[in-house]
Structure 1
Amino acid sequence: MAVKLHHITIVLLISYVLIITGCTSNGQINSDSTIAESTLNKINTIVVIYAENRSFDNLYGLFPGANGIHNALEHPETYLQLDRDGKTVLPSLPPIWNKNNPNWSFIADLPNKPFQIDAAPGDAPSSNGIKNVSPDLVHKFYHNQMQINVGSNNQFAAFSNAGGLTMGYYDGSSMALWQLAKEYTLADNFFMGAFGGSFLNHFWLVCACTPSMANVSTDQVSILDDKTGMLAFKPSSALQMAPHYLGDFNFTPADNTNQRNYAVNMAQPPFQPSGTPPAKTGNRLLADSGIKNGVVVLDPQTEKTLGDTLSARQINWAWYAGAWDAAVTDGMQSPDKARSVIYKTGAGAANFQAHHQPFNYFSRFDPTTANGREQRIAHLKDYTDLQTDIAKGTLPAVTFYKPQGSLNQHPGYTDVMSGDAHIAELVKQLQASPQWPNMFIIVTYDENGGFWDHVSPPKGDRWGPGSRIPAIIISPFAKKHSIDNTLYDTTSIIKFITRRFGLEPLPGVRDNAGDLTNTLEVDIRN
C-alpha cells in the first residue's frame, strides 16, 4: 500500500510540474515559439475588450471540457475554506456581511463548498439569477493575497466582506460569450496580472507596472503585519463578523529603495474625467489634488506604457471607453454641481468609472499642455468613435475597449447578462467590419472581483499574478472549438502585441506567461 501511495504522489507531482511548465498530458510542450510567424503576421488589427470582476469558475466553471467546478469538487482540498486562524475548517459558509438582504440569507446555511448561485438553494430568479445584480465583494491588493493564501485558495470566505458569496458560481451557458467561447478558443489557465482590483489591473494591462507617488499621507498607507507582510487584522471568526483590519488603505508603506508609496488600490486620475472634481478656483481640466477626506489623486505617472512603445514604432492605437466624451464634460463642471455621468448609478446612468481609464493617469495625456491635448485627441476616444471606426474599417492596429460601468458585468452595480449582450453585439459588429479577415479579438476581465477560483496562481512577483479569470480569443486565425491550457496572465496581451509589431519589451511583462500565439492555427501552407 505504501508503494502505491508513493507512486500516486510521484504521478501527482509530475502532473503539477507538467502543468506549470506548459507540458501537455501527451508530453508535448506548449511552446509559443512553434507558431508560424506567417500566421501571426497576417493579423493587422488587435482588439482588447476588457470587462469586469469575474473569476473563471464564477462564469465558466461549468464549461464543458474546461478545468472547472467538476475538477474542484473531486478534490476537497481545493475548495474547503479555513477560518481566519488559517487552521480551522469552517463548518459552513459565512453570511454576507456587507449587505443585509434577505434574498441572500441562504448563504449562511450552505455547506463549505462551491455553490451555484442560479440554482437551488440559491435560485430566486427575481433577485438572484444571472440576469440580476448580486452584492459586491471586496477585491483589493492585500485581500486577494490573503484569500489565495500562498496558492491554497482556502481563505476567500474568511477575508471577504461578502462572506460565502465568494464561493458562488453561475451556469454561464445562457451567455452569448459562452457560445463564442465554444466556437473559438477559451483560455482556462489565464490569470489577472496583479493582485487586487480594477485600478491596479488596468495599469498592468497597459504598462505591466504599479503606479506610485512620494509623500503620501500616513492615513492612506496600509498597516501591515510584521510577520506576514499582509494587512494586520483583529482576531475573529469568519462566522461571527466581517474581517476587521487595523489599516486597510490604498498605498503600500514607502519602499526602502526609492521612498515611494505604491498605489495598489483605487486612486483617482489627476486629469478629468476623474472621480475628484476640479478645485473651485482651479483649472477645470484637472482634479483637485489638494482635496481632503476623499480618494487620493495620483500624481501624473511617467512609466513607459504599451502606448509609448507602439507610438515609437508609428503603430496607430487607441483606448475607447463607453461614455468617455460625456464623462469629460461631466468632470469639468464646477465642484458645486453633482456629477451625472462619473460614478453615477441608477436607471439609464452610464456609471462611468474613472479609475478604469489607465492612460488618463500618465503625464503624456496632460490636457493642460498642447502635446497632451494632441495625444488625447489621437488616442483617448469614445464608444461612438469605436462604432464609426468599425463600420468604416479604420480601427487602429491596436484597439482597447472599456465598456461603461452599466455594461461591464461588475457585481454590485450591474449584472452579467447586460454586459454579455453588449460585448457580444460589439463582437458581431467587429466580425462584420472590413478589418475582420485580419483581426484578433481578446475578450477578458480585469480581475476576479473577489470571487473564488480553485486553480492556484503561478509563481510571479511582488505584484501578481492574482486569481484565474476568463479569456476568449476570437479570430479567423484562432483555433476553433478549442480550450487552451497554456499559462497566461494579463501581461500576455502586452507580450502578444509586442511580438506582432516588433516593439520594445516592457520590463514588467512576465517571462513565464505565454504570448497567446498558442491560440492560433498554424497555417501549414506557409
Structure 2
Amino acid sequence: MAALDEIQTIVILMQENRSFDHMLGHLSLEGLLPDVDGLRQEDMELTTYANEYRNRFYWPFLIQDEASVIRDPPHSRHLVQVQMARSSSGKKFRMSGFVDSYIQYTQHQTEHPPPMGYFDSRGAWMTSFLARQYCVCDRWFTPLPSDTQPNRCMAFTGTTLIDDTDSRLIPHREHVFDWLNARGVRWRVYHDGPPFFLLFGRFHELVGMKYRPFSELAHDIQHEDPGQAPQVIFLEPRYFDFFWSDEPANCNHPLALVCHGERLLHRVYTALTCNPEKWARTLFIHTYDEHGGFFDHVPPLPIENPPPPGADFTEGFKTTGPRVPGLLVSPWVQPGKAFHGNLDHTSMLQLLAEKFGSGPEDYSASVNHRRAQRIRSLSEALADAPALRPIPTRAPEPCPPMPSMKRQPRAPNERAFQKAALELLQHEGPIATAAKYPDLVGAPLTP
C-alpha cells in the first residue's frame, strides 16, 4: 500500500502493565474522542463495569493521587482468568473479577481497589495528546491472558514456549532481530537502561553497535544519513524490574509512576519530530506488553494459541488477554481517528512482513495462525495519504521526584534481570559490559 511504500522508519515502544480503560478510557468519558470504545458516564454506576466481591460492588474511579493508590495488581495466567470472569456457560466473559483477583492475591480489601482506577487526560497527558492528534487503536489486545514474559515472546518472536514469567533467561525460537537480519533490514535499539532484550540472552549483540543509549536518539534522527539510519527502531524504557537503580523507572510498571512514563513518551515524540523531513516518513508504534491486572470492560477475543513443539506448558490458550493501549503516531494516519480492527502484538510482525517481506503472511506460521483467526495487520490503520499540517506539539508536564526504589529482588522478572545481567558480565566481560551499561557497575549480581 502507498503508506508502507513511503514510510522509511518504523519505531516501536512497548511499555509495561497498563490496560486500555486504565490509560485511555477517559477519551470517551470526557468526550474527547466519542468514537472510542472506552468508559462512558452512563455506565459508570450500572452493572456494566461493576466488580463484585462478597456482595459489595466496585466501580472504576479517577486516580487523583497516584502515589497513594497505585499498587501492582496480579496478572499471572490463573488470576487473569479470574479477572475476565468467564460465565458458567463458558461463552461469555463478564470482565468482573479484577477486584476478586486483587484481594485473593494481596489479602487486602480497600475502599478503592487499585485495579479499578483510571487516569484522565491530565494524568495520562502525553498518551491522551497523542491519541487525539493521531490514531488510537481501541481493539488492541494483549496476545495471551498471562503476564510479561509470554506476551513479550509473542511480540518479538510471534510465538511462545512459556506461559508464565519466571526467574530465567527466556527460551525462544527465531527472534524478530533474526528475521530482520535475514532480510538485510537495518535495525537498532535505543535504551534508557538495561534493555528487556537482555532476558533473551543475546549477549554479544547487546554490547555491539546496534544498541545505543537513549540520549543519542535525537542526535541520530537529526543528523544521520537516511541511507545508514535504521529502518526499524526499538525503544527500551528504564524498567521497574531493574531493581538496583536510583533512577526512576519510566516503563509504567507499578509502582513506577505514570508521570515518568509520560515524560519518556514526550521525549520520544520530541526526538522523532525534530527532523521534519524524516518525520514525514516515520511510523511510531506505542503499546503495552500486557494489561497488568487493571480493569478493562471489553471481553477478550476467541483466539486459540496451542502449545508449539518444545513448549514447557501443555494447556493451550483459548483467548487473548484484555485490551492494552495502542497508538499509531505518524503523518500517515488520519488525525483523531480511532481504528476498531482486532489487533494484538503480532499485528506489528505482520506489518514488518508487509514492509520488508512479501506480505503479511511472510512472518511465520504461528503469526499466520493468528491472522487466520482475524488478527489484523497494523497497516490497515494507515491512511492512503499523509496529513498535511504542522507537527502538533505539547509542552511537558512536571513530574514529582521519585524516591530511590533500590530493593532486594522479589518478583520473578526482577530475578530474571539479575540472572541475565550476571550472565552478560560473564559472557562479555566487565569492561565491555560497563562501557555499554554503566548501571551494571557495582550491581548486586549474586543470585
Q: CA deviation at 1:195?
A: 2.1
Runs of 5+ in structure 1 lacking a partner?
1-36, 84-89, 93-110, 119-127, 212-261, 270-297, 325-355, 368-372
Note closer, same or farther for the CA distance 1:385–1:145 as it changes in structure 2 (3 Å cut).
Answer: farther
Match of 1:313 among 174, 183, 190: 183
Residue 165 of structure 1 corresponds to 114
Shifted more, 480-489 versus 389-398: the winner is 389-398
Change in CA separation of 1:72 and 1:60 when aligned onto 2, cut-off 3 Å: farther
Within 5 Å, give how 1:456-467 maps onto structure 2. Answer: 456-461=299-304, 462-463=316-317, 464-467=319-322
Shift of the 115–389 alpha-carbon distance from structure 1 to 2, 3 Å rule, reads: same
Shift of 1:318: 2.3
Give me the whole-angstrom Cα distance separating, in 1, the residues matched to 2:41 and 2:364.
36
Q: Distance in 2 between matches of 1:206 and 1:72?
A: 39
- Aligned-partner Cα distance in 1 for 2:4–2:223: 24
Distance in 2 (alpha carbons) for counterparts of 1:193 and 1:180: 23
Q: CA deviation at 1:68?
A: 1.4
Query: For residues 110-163 of structure 1, what are the alpha-carbon distances to aligned partners after superposition, in whole Å with 9 as ceiling and x for unaligned?
Result: x42222222xxxxxxxxx24x777221112222112211232212111112356
Q: 1:469 aligns to what SS in structure 2?
A: coil
Q: Deviations over 1:157-186 (max 9, x none)?
A: 111235632112121345122112111111
Shift of 1:391: 3.0
Distance 2:207 2:68 in 1: 36
Q: Structure 1 pair 374/53, CA: closer, same or farther in 2 (3 Å)?
A: closer
2:9 is aligned to 45
> Which residue is equivalent to 2:365?
507
What's the offset of the Cα at 1:484?
A: 1.3
RMSD: 2.5
Q: 2:278 aligns with which of 435, 442, 458?
A: 435
- After superposition, give the CA deviation of every residue in 1:273-326 in whole Å (9 maximum; x if it has no partner): xxxxxxxxxxxxxxxxxxxxxxxxx5xx350122111111100112332123xx
Whole-angstrom CA distance in 1 between matches of 2:176 and 2:357? 12
Asked if the contact 1:304/1:506 (under 8 Å) is kept, the reply is no
The residue that corresponds to 1:267 in the other structure is 167
- Secondary structure of 2:266's counterpart equals helix
> Could you list the runs of 4 or more consecutive aligned residues of structure 1 that deviate by over 6 angstroms after TM superposition?
none
- Give the deviation of 1:57 after TM superposition: 0.6
Letter in 2 for 1:54: R
Closer, same or farther: CA 210–182 of 1 in aligned 2, 3 Å: same
> CA contact under 8 A between 1:44 and 1:438: conserved in structure 2?
yes
Deviation at 1:482, TM superposition (A): 0.8
Give the aligned length. 334
SS in structure 1 at match of 2:283:
strand
Relative to structure 1, is the Cα distance of residues 302 and 159 closer, same or farther in structure 2, using a 3 angstrom cutoff? closer
Q: Distance in 2 between matches of 1:144 and 1:115?
A: 21
Please name the residue that 1:398 is paired with. 232
Contact 1:67 1:188 in 2 (8 A): yes
- C-alpha change, 1:72 and 1:415, in structure 2 (3 Å) is farther
Distance 2:278 2:269 in 1: 12
2:126, 2:262 within 8 Å by CA — same for their partners in 1? yes
Structure 2 unpaired stretches of 5+:
87-92, 240-248, 305-315, 387-447
What TM-score do you get using the length of structure 2 for normalisation? Answer: 0.69
Residue number in structure 1 paired with 2:311: none
Flag the 1:197–1:320 CA change in 2: closer, same or farther, 3 A.
Answer: farther
State the alpha-carbon separation in 1 of the partners of residues 13 and 264 from structure 2: 11
From the CA coordinates, give the structure whose radius of gyration is larger. 1
Q: In structure 2, how many angstroms separate the alpha carbons of the residues matched to 1:182 and 1:415?
A: 22
- Give the aligned partner of residue 217 of structure 2: 386
CA distance in structure 1 between the partners assigned to 2:214 and 2:296 by the alignment: 32
